[in-house]
Amino acid sequence: MLKVKAGRVLGRWEWGQPMCDACLLEIEEGVEPLKCENCGANFHPDCYTSLKNTKAVCPKCKVTLE
Protein backbone atom coordinates (compact mmCIF):
# COMPACT_ATOMS: atom_id res chain seq x y z
CA MET A 1 0.00 0.00 0.00
CA LEU A 2 1.27 3.47 -0.80
CA LYS A 3 0.88 6.31 1.65
CA VAL A 4 1.65 9.99 1.24
CA LYS A 5 4.03 11.23 3.90
CA ALA A 6 2.89 14.45 5.55
CA GLY A 7 5.39 17.04 6.67
CA ARG A 8 8.04 19.14 4.95
CA VAL A 9 8.17 17.06 1.79
CA LEU A 10 4.71 16.66 0.32
CA GLY A 11 3.98 14.13 -2.39
CA ARG A 12 6.65 11.65 -1.27
CA TRP A 13 5.35 8.08 -1.38
CA GLU A 14 6.14 5.46 1.26
CA TRP A 15 5.36 1.76 1.29
CA GLY A 16 3.26 0.62 4.22
CA GLN A 17 1.63 -2.56 5.35
CA PRO A 18 -1.37 -3.66 3.24
CA MET A 19 -4.81 -3.34 4.81
CA CYS A 20 -7.37 -6.15 4.96
CA ASP A 21 -10.41 -5.01 2.99
CA ALA A 22 -12.72 -7.12 5.17
CA CYS A 23 -11.75 -6.09 8.73
CA LEU A 24 -9.83 -2.89 7.78
CA LEU A 25 -6.81 -3.81 9.94
CA GLU A 26 -3.19 -3.95 8.74
CA ILE A 27 -1.93 -7.30 7.51
CA GLU A 28 1.10 -8.10 9.63
CA GLU A 29 4.54 -8.82 8.18
CA GLY A 30 5.06 -12.50 7.45
CA VAL A 31 1.35 -13.12 6.75
CA GLU A 32 0.67 -13.73 3.07
CA PRO A 33 -2.54 -11.87 2.17
CA LEU A 34 -5.13 -13.54 -0.04
CA LYS A 35 -6.36 -11.41 -2.93
CA CYS A 36 -9.57 -11.01 -4.87
CA GLU A 37 -8.84 -12.14 -8.43
CA ASN A 38 -11.03 -9.39 -9.87
CA CYS A 39 -9.95 -6.19 -8.07
CA GLY A 40 -6.87 -7.24 -6.06
CA ALA A 41 -8.41 -6.55 -2.63
CA ASN A 42 -6.25 -7.92 0.22
CA PHE A 43 -7.56 -10.18 3.01
CA HIS A 44 -6.22 -11.94 6.09
CA PRO A 45 -6.52 -15.70 5.48
CA ASP A 46 -9.13 -15.97 8.28
CA CYS A 47 -11.12 -13.01 6.93
CA TYR A 48 -11.11 -14.50 3.43
CA THR A 49 -12.38 -17.83 4.76
CA SER A 50 -15.06 -16.08 6.80
CA LEU A 51 -16.20 -14.06 3.78
CA LYS A 52 -16.40 -17.15 1.60
CA ASN A 53 -18.49 -18.97 4.23
CA THR A 54 -20.93 -16.09 4.75
CA LYS A 55 -21.43 -13.54 1.96
CA ALA A 56 -19.10 -15.14 -0.62
CA VAL A 57 -18.54 -11.75 -2.33
CA CYS A 58 -15.68 -9.26 -2.28
CA PRO A 59 -16.60 -6.15 -0.23
CA LYS A 60 -14.90 -3.87 -2.81
CA CYS A 61 -16.06 -5.14 -6.20
CA LYS A 62 -18.98 -7.43 -5.19
CA VAL A 63 -17.69 -10.31 -7.34
CA THR A 64 -18.10 -13.87 -6.03
CA LEU A 65 -14.92 -15.09 -4.27
CA GLU A 66 -13.34 -18.24 -5.69
Confidence at residue 55, expressed as pLDDT on a 0 to 100 scale:
84
Fold of 19-66: Herpes Virus-1 (3.30.40)
Residue ranges of the domains in the chain? 19-66
pLDDT value at residue 9:
53
For 12, residues 6+ apart whose C-beta sits below 8 A from its C-beta are 4, 5
Q: What was the pLDDT predicted at 62? A: 93
| 62 contacts 38 by C-beta, under 8 angstroms | no
Partners of 3 in the β-ladder: 14
**DSSP strand pairing (42-43 vs 13-15):** unpaired
Query: How does pLDDT run along the chain (66 residues), one tens digit per residue?
Result: 555 555 555 555 556 778 999 999 999 989 999 999 999 999 999 999 999 999 889 999 999 987
Distance CA 18, CA 45 (A): 13
Number of neighbours of residue 2 by Cβ within 10 angstroms: 7
